[in-house]
Amino acid sequence: MEKKFKFSDKNAVSKIVYLTVIAILCVSAIVIGIVAANSRKKTETPEEPDTNQGTNDETNSGNNNQGSTDDSGNKEENKTPTLTFVSPVTGTVIKSHSTTVPVFSNTLDEWRIHTGLDISTEDGAAVSAAADGEVTNVYNDPMLGQTIEITHSDTHKSYYSNLSRENIECAVGDKVTGGTVIGYVGDTTISELADEPHLHFEMKVSGASVNPLDYFTEESKLASLGIVSGEESEV
């Protein structure tokens, strides 16, 4: 005999279908909400700052300021250090530096320019470096005799002539400080043999001959040469 559904059975099936549809819609709404929320977070998340930008700026700034004076008062790296020159011997100036007015030479019996400073002292007197520097040449000058050249900077050089050949106290490449003994007064200069024992001292700045007295400290000129400020030998 064919079984028939009762009206109450149809209502139960309808309720199940209805509840199933509602459940599906709720799940779909939840899924859609989650997806939308994730999309919104990605859109609103700000870009991370470029952390390397500050580093690069600081690095470039440091490179641009290399060698300059900083706020703490440090000196520029490439700045030439201050040089202090003193007389290389103690004595008396017997012949001044003169590149414009000729000076009489007793040995050559003639008037000629004098590119150095002749300082009389005892024969064999110790000769010291006039300032910190490096010995860059030791040689025999045809006219001025045994000579030592010291380079103090890119522009400043000093020359010590009429030295004894037997007692040179330095060699090329030696680093010396002002006051270091480098040799002794001798009688090797041909052009100044008639003069009393002395050191022939020269200075050059950027290759040009200069008057050493313009570079000696006032204390050194007074203590070593007996020269009061503003006074110079007229010989």
Residue 232 has pLDDT above 90, yes or no: no
CA terminus-to-terminus distance, the chain:
157
The reply to whether 100 and 36 lie within a common domain is no
Q: What is the mean pLDDT of the chain?
A: 81
The reply to whether 26 and 132 lie within a common domain is no
Record the tokens describing residue 226, joined without a space.
């007996």
Handedness of CA 127, 133, 139, 140 (dihedral sign): negative
The reply to whether 130 and 18 lie within a common domain is no
The reply to whether 127 and 27 lie within a common domain is no
Distance CA(62)–CA(82), nearest Å, equals 26
Is 214 inside a domain boundary? yes
Segment 183-217, tens digit of pLDDT: 999 999 998 888 999 999 999 999 999 999 999 99
Handedness of CA 102, 104, 107, 110 (dihedral sign): positive
Segment 134-172, tens digit of pLDDT: 999 999 999 999 999 999 999 999 999 999 999 999 999
Residue 49 has pLDDT above 60, yes or no: no
The reply to whether 207 and 120 lie within a common domain is yes
The reply to whether 37 and 106 lie within a common domain is no
Residue 23 has pLDDT above 70, yes or no: yes
**Which range of residues forms the domain containing residue 18?**
7-43
What is the average pLDDT across 217-221?
96
What is the average pLDDT across 29-45?
66
Q: Judge contact between 176 and 132, C-beta under 8 A.
A: yes
The reply to whether 108 and 167 lie within a common domain is yes
Q: Could you give the number of structural domains in the chain?
A: 2
Is 100 inside a domain boundary? yes
Residue 68 has pLDDT above 50, yes or no: no
Confidence band for 67, pLDDT divided at 50, 70 and 90:
very low
